[in-house]
Structures are given as structure tokens and as C-alpha cells.
Amino acid sequence: MWRQDSYDLHTLSPSTHPVRVLAARIYSAIAEASTHSAPPVFQEVSGYSFPGGNVLDDLKHDWIRTTTFYCYDQAWMQYVCGNHLSFLSHVHATLVYQDLDEGLLYESDLTVYAKTKVLGLFRGPLNTDDTTIISILYMLISEIGSPDEDAFSVHQDGLVTCLRNQQDALGPNIATFMTLVMLTFAICRGKDESTELTPQLSSEAWLDNNDLIPPLSARQVHAPPLYQTCSAASTDIIWKMQRCTSTFLARWNHKGEPHMISSGQLTSCDAELQNIYSDLLLLPSAEDDQTSDWIYESCRIAALIYCRSIVQGATLADSANIMHASISGSSSGSGTLLSALHSALRKTDVQTCWGIELSSVFLWVALVGAAASWSPPRSSSEEVLQASAWMRKSFALYAIRAAVTVPFDYADATIHVLRTMLQVQRYIAIRTGSIQAH
């Protein structure tokens, strides 16, 4: 049932993608200083000349010009790449995403080599400057979704140590970057927000003058239709999810405060949520027609998982693991909603996060998938375990990329979206009885 989610267990990548070629040249330039020959790992990437002399600065400029990973702000990229540790950490994190985009569950040899070089720079007393914090964040990103939770915990402990020993306040962009990353981690892993690791505050002021239309909004936003960037059917689902989110939060924000909301209003909220879910159940699959609108299909399946948990008081994992028929490319013809969501999302242009206008929608879809995939699979077969690990890693890395690849001008909106998702998760957990309301 998992065959529709293709992935490669091998670590060698025959790819000569420009990112791999340039990364290999960067590490070759570093290695040349002591060996004058390329390490064997670079033999997996052909089509580049071995750099000689002092070329690393030129390669850094090439990297800034060509990378599409966190490249939305040239001043930010100049800052990151201006420090040796944070530059190599950025290269390593980019290779992690290149492995993902090529369907590799495990890291390629070049990515493993890149990680080794970065970890070697962390030896000795740990600096507490901003570039060290950036580098640790990149290392955390590379480990998210990994079955080895210990490695993630070690890096997070190192981050906390840096923050507590830092003499000066974090720069504003670094505080924003860390907040975006750590909030996304909290959602994916089902954890509470750590105020120490998410220093950037958020507000709803952006809602009055921002073109982004998030499904995750605590109040309904009146903005122009999205018909120019996605189909009318997709837009309808997005608006339904915004209504679902705002209604659910309005209903639960006043729980325990009867003077704030009447029983009639509670009934009205519950009825509206049920109506939204009923409408979703009637929507056709993109596989039932010839349009192949995979953005629509991704939104539809994510909405089914999200809304079912809200209406029925089920965990996202439980809602995602109900059976779903007719998954394209599946030999069995059926699977779970989670596997269907992963399959549909992989058929979209995930590298773009659907562009700036739909980035908040892509983020919501990825967050639903990541949060739903974090629970252990119900089967212990090797095939299911591997497929589960692949989906967990994919959704988490997609969510991180979507959270941080918008310009800093939009960061406040994204932080608001992430904290809203945490709030939704908390109220769902209260509904399921897994935590107590305070």
C-alpha cells in the first residue's frame, strides 16, 4: 500500500544537479588546502573541474547567486555566507533538501561528508555568536524527521546553551529565523512552544494589509479571490478552512467562560463546523477527472484530516490513518489519507512552496501532514516503517522550507500562522482528553 510513495534507500546519487556540482566544488576547494586532491566522496558528482588556488570566495558568490534555499534576502545570504561555519552549514542543509527532492530517504555520500565537515567545526568550546546559532539551527533542520531523536536533542541542547551564555541580544533577523524554525518543529513533533527558543512576538496587524490568505487564521480575513494563483475549487477549500479555524478557536477560546459565549452560540459553532466537514466529504477527488489539479487534491485531503480532527475530537494521526480509496500509482488501489496526501503533494512543485501567494496554504498542508505522521505507524513491517519515515521526513522538511522561504517582511504573518496551528493542536488535544485545559 505504500508503493505510491517512491523513495530510494541508496545513499549514492548519480545526479549532476547544479546544487550538487557547486557544493562539491566548494568542499573540494576546502579540501585542496591540505590534500591537493578531491576526496573520494566527490567522485559521485561528475562534470566539474577541480578548483585550484584561492577560489573559495568566488564559489561563495556563485552559491549566493544560484541557491534557491533561504535566498529571499540578499543581505541575509551575504551575512550567512560571510562566516565559514554558517556558510558550510547552509551548504549542508541545502544538500539535505536536494536529497529530499531526489527521493532519497537517507543522506547521499556528499551530504554525509558535508555534515561531517560541519560537525568538525563544532569541536572545542562552543561559541555563542549569532552565526553559531544559525549553524545549529541548520543542523537541527537536517535532523528533523530522522529516526535518531537523540541527535536532534543534542543539537537543541547546544542551542539552549548558546542562548543562555550569549552576552548580547540576538539580531532581529536571527531571532525571527529561530522563531520560525522552532515553532515549526514544535508543531511537527507535537510539543508545546518554548518561549526561550521562540523570542519573536507576533501580532495580527498584518491581516489588515497583507495579500497572504492563510487557512490558519484566528479570525476571518476579507481578501481578493485567489483565482489567479489556484483553481476556484482550491480557493473554496482554503476559505472553508479559514472559517473552520476561526470558528473552532472562537468556540474553544471561551470554553469555561459561560458569560463570554452562550449555549446557542456554542451550538451554532458546532453546527457550522459539521457543515464544513460534510461539504468536504462530498468534494470529488482530482483523480476522478482529467484535470490533475494536485494543489486542489493536496488541499482537499489535508482539509479532510484537519476538519475531521476538529469536528470529531480525534488526533491528526487518527484522522490521517483512515482508509482512502484509489491512490494514483498504488498497486493495491487503497491506502490511508496520509499516504494519499503525501502522494498528491509530491506531484506538485514542492520546491516553490507554490509561490508567495500560496505559501501559507502550502505551509498549512505540510504542517497537517507532519503533525499527523509523527505518531509511530500501526504496523511494524519494514516496508511500512520505511514509508512512514519517508513521509515524516518529507512533510517536516517541506514545512520548514515553507516557513522560512518567504521574505522577512512576511515573517510576522508566518509566525502568527504557526502559533495559530499550535493553538488548534492544543484544543484538539483537550478534546481528545490527552491534555487538561488550564
d(CA 46, CA 63): 18
Judged against a pLDDT cut of 60, whether residue 257 lies above it is answered with no
d(CA 175, CA 178): 5
d(CA 119, CA 407): 29
d(CA 372, CA 375): 7
The residues near 94 (Cβ < 8 Å, ≥ 6 apart) are 19, 23, 67, 69
pLDDT at position 13 is 58
Judged against a pLDDT cut of 70, whether residue 200 lies above it is answered with yes
pLDDT at position 369 is 98
CA 274, 277, 278, 280: dihedral to nearest 10 degrees?
Answer: 160
34-43: buried (b, 16+ CB within 10 Å) or exposed (e) per residue? eeeebbebbe
157 φ, ψ (degrees, to nearest 5): -60, -40
Q: What is the pLDDT of residues 366-398, one digit of tens each?
A: 999 999 999 877 777 888 889 999 999 999 999
pLDDT at position 322 is 92
Find, among 119, 106, 111, the residue nearest to 91 by Cα. 111
Least confident of 37-46, 163-172, 419-428: 37-46
Work out the pLDDT band at 332, boundaries 50, 70, 90. very low
d(CA 158, CA 359): 31
Tell me if 419 sits within 8 A of 183, measured CB to CB. Answer: yes
Judged against a pLDDT cut of 90, whether residue 85 lies above it is answered with yes
| CA 407 from centre of chain | 16
| CA 379 from centre of chain | 25
pLDDT at position 56 is 85
Least confident of 34-38, 138-142, 238-242, 358-362: 34-38
Greater model confidence, 95 or 218: 95
Find, among 300, 238, 242, 248, the residue nearest to 274 by Cα. 248
pLDDT at position 356 is 82
- Please identify which residue in the block is written with the cell numbers 556558510: 87
Amino acid at 69: F
The average pLDDT across 241-247 equals: 94
Judged against a pLDDT cut of 70, whether residue 219 lies above it is answered with no
pLDDT at position 49 is 40
Q: Which long-range contacts (CB under 8 A, 24 or more apart) does 106-110 make?
A: 106/9, 106/10, 106/11, 107/11, 108/11, 108/12, 108/13, 108/44, 109/11, 109/12, 109/13, 109/41, 109/44, 110/13, 110/20, 110/23, 110/24, 110/27, 110/41, 110/42, 110/44, 110/45
The average pLDDT across 403-428 equals: 90
d(CA 369, CA 305): 9
d(CA 283, CA 48): 50
Would residue 328 be called left, alpha or beta, if left means φ above 0 and alpha means ψ between -120 and 50 degrees? beta
Judged against a pLDDT cut of 90, whether residue 93 lies above it is answered with yes
Judged against a pLDDT cut of 60, whether residue 419 lies above it is answered with yes
Judged against a pLDDT cut of 50, whether residue 3 lies above it is answered with no
Taking the chain, what is the end-to-end CA distance rounded to the nearest angstrom? Answer: 41
The average pLDDT across 89-105 equals: 94
Judged against a pLDDT cut of 50, whether residue 126 lies above it is answered with yes
Greater model confidence, 273 or 128: 273
What is the sign of the dihedral through the CA atoms of 25, 30, 31 and 36? Answer: positive
pLDDT at position 1 is 33
Mean pLDDT of the chain: 83
Q: Where are the alpha helices (DSSP H) in 125-231?
A: 130-143, 149-165, 172-189
pLDDT at position 47 is 38
Find, among 361, 338, 336, the residue nearest to 350 by Cα. 361
Cell of 4: 505510491
pLDDT at position 327 is 46
Q: Over pLDDT 70: what percentage of the chain? A: 80
pLDDT at position 432 is 87
pLDDT at position 96 is 95
What is the sign of the dihedral through the CA atoms of 225, 360, 358 and 286? Answer: negative
The average pLDDT across 433-438 equals: 72
Q: Is the pTM of this model over 0.85?
A: yes
Greater model confidence, 419 or 333: 419
Greater model confidence, 201 or 182: 182
Work out the pLDDT band at 46, boundaries 50, 70, 90. very low
The average pLDDT across 75-89 equals: 92
How many residues are given for the chain?
Answer: 438
